[in-house]
Amino acid sequence: MKTIRKSAKLANVLYDIRGPIMDAARQMEDEGQKIIKLNLGNLAVFGFDAPEEIQQDMIRNLPNSAGYSDSKGIFAARKAVMHETQKQGIVGVTLDDIYLGNGASELITMATNALLDNGDELLLPMPDYPLWTASTSLSGGTPVHYLCDEANGWMPDLDDIRAKITPRTKGIVVINPNNPTGVLYSDELLQGIVTIAREHGLVILADEVYDKVLYDGVKHTALASLSTDVLTLTFNSLSKSYRSCGYRAGWMVVSGNKKAAGDYIEGLTMLSNMKLCSNVPGQWAIQTALGGYQSINDLVCEGGRLRRQRDLAYELITAIPGVSCVKPEAALYMFPKLDPTLYPITDDRQFFLELLRETRVMLVQGTGFNWQQPDHFRIVFLPHEEDLRVAIGRIAKFLEGYRKRHSN
């Protein structure tokens, strides 16, 4: 029989958050082992429930959800997103500028497909949320990673961004708050990115899914609020701030110089029409979520569950010899560094596969986020405090054994 192979378009597509380490963990679970999962930002499995009013509104509207909606989404949800952009200071957004999708992920793929021809380049942060790199490659584009500087609190290096712009560069992706580092970008840094995009005629694609998951009183600035002339696509969803990952309710907002981008916007609408519409029950949750009580604030404030777990995970992980970390100000993650003199790792995927098998704790290696060196990993601090203590205790013991085996 003739061998059937995957498309060559998938040759450079990588999504290690759900990769070989997760496959190994699933096999271990099938064998009856209990795995502590510090790899996925899937809030429901850790007891973070979606607000009850969101659940009830979806249930009430199920009779209205059997048919297709408008391909861009139902009116009430898009109007709620439009009001949200006004609160954020984003100017000139109309209902027609808002596209609803099955989570932000679907809209990211739609945006890159509409933007990139074969060989076009898209500037992406390093480290990044790997869906961005995968979608760029799948769209025929070339991902070009700019440095986020750990020594400068993981802020993007503006000089590195400038140095990597070529005639093929079409846009720049900004993930703020950042996944995987948990860092919130300063207004000054964001203004610098807007200036670069303006100078070179680049589209800004702003992933702001964690814009309400903020600690220590920090404030998030919507990147699209900083200009009216730079075309900006802003991505957000209910998944994280409203603990509604499985409802698959996300949105994309187009703002800035839409007149010059008419052809691109036509392409976005064409792709939106091709998917017919996104999950309609999830769309009904958007108005209730954005207009209702913001219970995320109870989780991130001092004494809140997410805040406590962030503080505990940071305290425990940085107490391990040779492990350092920039303390996250936002999101659900931190991105610790392993001192390469104490941990001379050459293959970090294999390293964390061995850690999984020995400790039954699942992590994602730094190269899974397109970080170039095998010296980082991402921790998700969603498990309860006792589980975090157990998991990080096992990690510490594993690293102690590794240090002893590799000390000279």
Common-topology check for domains 8-49+298-406 and 52-290: no
Query: Domain 8-49+298-406 classified CATH 1.20.120.1200?
Result: no
Instruction: Report how far Cα 263 is from the mean position of its chain's Cα atoms.
Output: 28
Which amino acid, 56?
Answer: Q
d(CA 166, CA 169): 5
Q: Which CATH number fits domain 52-290: 3.40.640.10, 3.10.620.30, 3.40.50.300, 3.90.1150.10?
A: 3.40.640.10
In this structure, are residues 129 and 108 in contact, taking their beta carbons and an 8 Å threshold?
no
Cα angle for residues 311, 317, 323 (degrees, 5° grid): 135
pLDDT in single tens digits along all 408 residues of the chain: 888 887 777 777 766 556 778 888 888 889 998 988 998 888 988 999 999 999 999 999 999 898 989 899 999 999 999 999 999 999 999 999 999 999 999 999 999 999 999 999 999 999 999 999 999 999 999 999 999 999 999 999 999 999 999 999 999 999 999 999 999 999 999 999 999 999 999 999 999 999 999 999 999 999 999 999 999 999 999 999 999 998 899 999 999 999 999 999 999 999 999 998 899 999 999 999 999 999 999 999 999 999 999 999 999 999 999 999 999 999 999 999 999 999 999 999 899 899 999 999 999 999 999 999 999 999 999 999 999 999 999 999 999 999 888 876
Which amino acid, 88?
Answer: Q
d(CA 129, CA 116): 19
d(CA 258, CA 111): 15
According to the 3-state scheme, what is the secondary structure of 42-55? CHHHHCCCCCHHHH
Domain spans in the chain, listed from the N-terminal domain onward: 8-49+298-406, 52-290
